[in-house]
Amino acid sequence: MFDIVGWVVASSVRSKIVKTARFELIRCDRLLGVRVVSALAAAASIILGACASAPPSPYSDDPAPLALAPGVEDQRGRFREIFCTILEQRGPTLPDSRPCDDALTRVGIEPGGTGMGVELNQSHRRLVAAMVPGIGWGCFSQWLDMKATTATHVRQFGYDMAAITVDALSSSATNARQIRDAIMEMEPTGGEPNLVLIGYSKGTPDILEAAVSYPEIRPMIAAIVSVAGAVGGSPAADEVTQSKLELLEHWPGAQCTSGDGGALESLRPETRMAWIAENALPDDIPYYSLATCPRPERISAVLKPTYRKLSQVDPRNDGMMLFRDQLVPGSTFLGCVNADHWAVAVPIARSHPTIASTLVTKNDYPREALLEALLRFIEEDLTRGSLARE
């Protein structure tokens, strides 16, 4: 569940790096420096263990119905129609384009499409995608050197994109307050709410806690979206200590502090499940879930050890999160993305090609098209809901 370096620099000790990563580590050290490569190479394998104690369960596109979270509505068919249309019409002009059947996985019995057309004109609702990142983001965002390609893409169609800054290593409760403050500082639209809060990884529980704890922000929220969200927590959180996580503060160019030190506790499965049991989500906000369900060949080399470990529980995992822990109760299920936990949201390969060629080997994904599809699906769904109420 985390957002690029897996859980971390904790693994920068060379002696602990697994044998399978040793050759690439030595080769890359000469070019990139020990600290960055060691963290990436060992993040997943050290945290959950380099070797599984038992062979992982084989992956399969089991035709049996998916076990969804309570009240989840399966709308994968319509989302596929929208995403596929965007990829077909805009794909050649966008980074990391790929055929739609390779961008989304079909897991279980996926509903068919609606047969409706897909409008790719200017947005009428002018939704704003407000992104809340996951754990550690402020520690390595400068190193990522991200370009604003996704924001540029959706803005040409009348949408907008903004980032909400939260503490990299603080608890969901602390970050929820920061989300509340950021929203309250935004200019009100004066009409229908247009803010789509999109939580990636730990960003999702941060957003959910904000929606529950601060009712004053709800009138401004059009929708809440979980992307590879740590809704039910992650087993990885039980394998790491806070002191190791705080080594992220020493990442090259890091601009983060330990905050309240509660990030890991907020991500433990027992913490998240207890919170869900004790807190009813506001029913005046629509929720959407986009899960990462990559095929084994779409897992980056650095995440394969954790993928194998989690596969002992469920082969439908993204190298950090189990599928079942990514769905918001009562949400609309949009789809299974054929990307690992980092590829869906963190463009490492675009700015660090050497690492991409050796460790983060499956980081390419058409994220620009994915965000446009998310916003178009939500706008259509909100419009349909408004018409139904009239």
Percentage of the chain modeled with pLDDT above 90: 63
> Which residue in this structure is represented by tokens 């499956």?
362
Amino acid identity for residue 339 in this structure: A
Q: Give the distance, in angstroms, between the CA of residue 218 and the centroid of all CA atoms in the same chain.
A: 22
Task: Please give the mean pLDDT across all residues of the chain.
Answer: 84
What's the Cα-to-Cα distance from 353 to each of 13, 93, 120, 342, 358, rounded to whole Å? 23, 20, 33, 15, 9
| Residue 341, helix vs strand vs coil | coil
Question: d(Cα 232, Cα 346) in Å, to the nearest integer?
Answer: 21
The tens digit of pLDDT for each residue in 329-386 reads: 999 999 999 999 999 999 899 988 898 899 999 999 999 999 999 999 999 999 987 6
Query: Widest CA span of the chain, in angstroms?
Result: 65
Q: Which of 61-65, 186-190, 293-297 comes out lowest in average pLDDT?
A: 61-65
SS3 318: coil
128 Cβ contact partners less than 8 Å away, ≥ 6 residues apart: 159, 160, 161, 162, 194, 195, 196
Task: State yes or no: pLDDT of 14 exceeds 90.
Answer: no
Beta carbons within 10 angstroms of residue 178's beta carbon: 18
* pLDDT tens digits along 263-310: 999 999 999 999 999 999 999 999 999 999 999 999 999 999 989 989
The residue whose two tokens read 């907020």 is 266
pLDDT at residue 62, as a whole number: 60
Whole-Å CA distances, 172 to 178, 240, 265, 275: 10, 17, 9, 11
Tokens of 306: 């954790």
pTM for this entry: 0.87
Sort 31 into a burial class: Cβ within 10 Å, 0-12 / 13-18 / 19+.
exposed
Return the minimum-mean-pLDDT range out of 162-171, 176-185, 250-259, 373-382. Answer: 250-259
